[in-house]
Amino acid sequence: MSDLLEQPSQTEQKIFEAARHVFHRKGLEGARMQEIADNANIHKSMLHYYYRSKEALFQKVYQLSIMKVMPEIVNLLNEEVSLELKIRKFVVKYIETIQANPDIPLFILHELNKDPNRFKQFIMGQVGKKVEPFLEELRQAAKEGRVVDMPPEQILVNILSLTVFPFIGRPVIQMILGYEGKDFDQFIEERRLLLPDYVINSISK
């Protein structure tokens, strides 16, 4: 303990990683403490030694997950570049973010759906109303005839849908298209390359 910044012990990290993995796949209730322990290759008591309770462990995972994907939306939409470049960068960067954490969106949405109030304030602090400048930018561009005339909220949701849904809907997409193995990864790779053009084209006048 000679460091000034308390860095989590190695087992503590292993636990957290395992917890993240299991919670992401199974959700709060679906996850078993024993399964997390097994996954981390440590004794179950250690979970409680480092993180008092399942609830506490879950909350850390939940919060970190939110932090990993929610502020990014706002950040990317508030970059100081042209509207077109901003949207292009958003699509690419956000796909990359989700690609690095492909289970997070479904995880968050499921938990949020079960209990919309848990962490509502926390989430609101990250994203609430912080897209207004972007919406205004779209509004302005529409007025100037550079962008299709459509409520900017709908355009924003279009962008989010096209970017995020493939990860959430992965199992269904795989079934419908008969993908297996690396097929889906290729599909995402292909998508990352062509989606920016598609989005820009779809909203340009």
Binding site for a second copy (CB under 8 A): 25-30, 70, 73, 103, 106, 108-110, 112-114, 116, 120, 123-124, 127-131, 148, 150-151, 153-154, 156-158, 160-162, 164-166, 168-173, 175-178, 187, 190-191, 194-195, 198, 201-202
Please report whether residue 82 would count as binding DNA according to CB under 7 A.
no
When CB distances are held under 5 to 8 angstroms depending on the partner's kind, the choice from a second copy, DNA, none that residue 75 binds is: none
Q: How far is the CB of 128 from DNA (least distance, A)?
A: 30
Q: What would the DSSP string read from start to end of the chain?
A: ---SS-PPPHHHHHHHHHHHHHHHHHHHHH--HHHHHHHHTS-HHHHHHHSSSHHHHHHHHHHHHHHHHHHHHHHHHT-SS-HHHHHHHHHHHHHHHHHHSTTHHHHHHHHHHH-TTTTHHHHHHHHTTTTHHHHHHHHHHHHTTSB-SS-HHHHHHHHHHHHHHHHHTHHHHHHHHT--TTHHHHHHHHHHHHHHHHHHHHHB-
Please report whether residue 1 would count as binding DNA according to CB under 7 A.
yes
Q: How far is the CB of 84 from a second copy (least distance, A)?
A: 16
